[in-house]
Amino acid sequence: MTAIVDCKGITKHYRQGSIDVPALRGVDLAIEQGDFASLAGPSGSGKTTLLNIVGGLDRPTDGTISIDGQDLTALDNEDLADLRLRKIGFVFQAYNLIPVLSAVENVEFTLQLMDVPAAERRERAKEMLQQVGLESMENRRPSRLSGGQQQRVAVARALASRPSIVLADEPTANLDTQTAEDLIALMSRLNERYGVTFLMATHDDRVISRTRRHIVIADGRVASDERRTLEMAG
Ligand SMILES: Nc1ncnc2c1ncn2[C@@H]1O[C@H](COP(=O)(O)OP(=O)(O)O)[C@@H](O)[C@H]1O
Ligand SMILES: [Mg+2]
């Protein structure tokens, strides 16, 4: 198996005035191609901090992190932003769609930043919306979509660049039970059909029970990491 993400000895300390807050205390973690993994742990255990570092949104205090064999810590901010754009898809708790853009324009946005030609851009964005079952809503703005639909647009947007990995931070936290189950079933399908690699920070049992790899972080360290086979569902 090929490691897409390889974290070695990641530490992260935040400074709050004169106080030093250790958020990560030495994380060793490799995410393999095709993983469908949950990252669980109590609030404040460092899940968001780790995802932000893996996704190149933040830098570790110490340790190394590589994506597809490329060392992120060696990149300057510009190259890091470029790698983030091409290799990482993000899904956030609050959807984070651009309110003035339609669903299809939101999905296209990343492709625009990547200088994908306009016609191809639109075609790929439509294809992604189709994959999340929203082809009939492509012209709607986020305010005219339900929370679950907005999150599906966010998943389509995350996939549009054909990233090496999709990082999701509490993706179901704002969704009711049925909608959360639909979303996790959708992500699971994308993983199985297209081999999209997912790492999802969550303390939602609805998500955890559907993942094939379950990582638990506690006090800024990996406390357990298990793989399991699931009964086919959804
Ligand atoms: N920007 C920040 N400044 C200071 N402390 C922070 C910051 N972000 C997170 N922390 C602290 O780091 C620890 C881990 O936080 P976080 O990664 O958000 O955990 P989780 O996502 O698991 O809830 C917590 O103690 C939190 O208070
Ligand atoms: Mg968090």
pLDDT digits (tens, 9 = 90+) for 37-73: 999 999 999 999 999 999 999 999 999 999 999 999 9
Of 225, 231, 233, 234, the residue nearest 41 (C-alpha)? 225
Q: pLDDT band for 232, please (50, 70, 90 cuts).
A: low
CATH number at residue 142: 3.40.50.300
Q: Is the distance from CB of 104 to CB of 138 less than 8 angstroms?
A: yes
Of 123, 92, 83, the residue nearest 107 (C-alpha)? 123
Q: Is the CB of 14 under 6 A from ligand 1?
A: yes
User: Phi and psi at residue 218, in whole multiples of 5°?
Assistant: -140, 135
- Establish if 6 belongs to a structural domain: no
Give the DSSP H/E element, type plus range, for residue 14: strand 3-16
Question: Percentage of the chain surpassing pLDDT 70?
Answer: 98
Best of 14, 24, 58, 92 for a ligand 1 pocket test (most atoms within 8 Å of beta carbon): 14
SS3 50: helix
- Establish if 46 belongs to a structural domain: yes
Q: What domain range is 99 assigned to?
A: 33-59+74-233
- Establish if 197 belongs to a structural domain: yes
- Establish if 42 belongs to a structural domain: yes
Residue 2 has pLDDT above 80, yes or no: no
Alpha-carbon distance of 77 to 62, in angstroms, equals 17
Q: Which residues contact 192 (CB under 8 A, 6 or more apart)?
A: none
Alpha-carbon distance of 7 to 66, in angstroms, equals 7
Q: Please state, rounded to an integer, the average pLDDT across all residues of the chain.
A: 95
- Establish if 25 belongs to a structural domain: no
**What is the Å distance from ligand 2's center to 117 Cα?**
36
- Establish if 9 belongs to a structural domain: no
> Quick one: which ligand is closest to 49's CA?
1
**This prediction's pTM:** 0.95
Q: Is the CB of 42 under 6 A from ligand 1?
A: no
- Establish if 66 belongs to a structural domain: no
Q: Is the distance from CB of 187 to CB of 208 less than 8 angstroms?
A: no
- Establish if 119 belongs to a structural domain: yes
Please tell me the total count of domains within the chain: 1
> Quick one: which ligand is closest to 220's CA?
1
Best of 49, 57, 169, 199 for a ligand 1 pocket test (most atoms within 8 Å of beta carbon): 49
User: What pLDDT is recorded for position 230?
Assistant: 78
